[in-house]
Every structure is written in C-alpha cells, then in structure tokens.
Amino acid sequence: MLFTSSLMFFSGVSVFVSKRKHLLLMLLSLEFIVLSLYLLISLYVNSFNYEYFFLMIFLTMSVCEGALGLAILVTMIRSCGNDYVLTFSSLW
C-alpha cells in the first residue's frame, strides 16, 4: 500500500509539472497529490495507532484548497474566457 501511495504521489507531481498550461489540469493533479498524501498519512497513523484528529484537519485544509482553486478558476474563465495560464493578464 505504501508503494501505491508513492506511485500516486509521483504520478500526480509529473502531471502537475507537464500540464502547466491549463489551470484545470493543474488543480486536478494537485487534488490527486493531496489524495495520495491523505492515503500515506492515514497509513502512517493507522500503523502507529495514533489519533485520527490530524486527518480531519488535513481534510479540512485540502477542501479549503480545492474551493479556493475552483474560485480562482471561475474568476479566470470569467475574465479571460479560457483556463490558459499564459493568457492571464496579471502574470505579464
């Protein structure tokens, strides 16, 4: 299970690096990385019989990160018309 989580993490990072033109693909790969980190942390917590309170904090922060990313995506599509990162006017 540790190998699966590590493979998920590195595949998410490789997609994040290779698909940096579209904001939606970057957000999806970022959520995939967060999901793999959640799996890795839950395996760690379960193996040492710790409390699961940190997992709830991690899930809360990842949901906030996803909502913020979607808000930025909607704002970008409304102002520019597409999700290309290079056409966003404030980056130039």
CATH code at position 6? 1.10.287.3510
State which residues form the domain around 55: 2-87
Does a structural domain hold residue 31? yes
84 bridge partner residues: 22
Global confidence as pTM: 0.84
Does a structural domain hold residue 41? yes
Q: How far is CA 68 from the centre of its chain?
A: 11
| Three-state DSSP class for residue 82 | coil
Say yes or no to pLDDT of 85 above 80: no
Query: Domain tally for the chain?
Result: 1
Return d(Cα 13, Cα 89) in angstroms, integer: 26
Does a structural domain hold residue 45? yes
Return d(Cα 56, Cα 70) in angstroms, integer: 21
Q: What is the pLDDT of residues 26-80, one digit of tens each?
A: 999 999 999 999 999 999 998 888 888 889 999 999 999 999 999 988 988 888 7
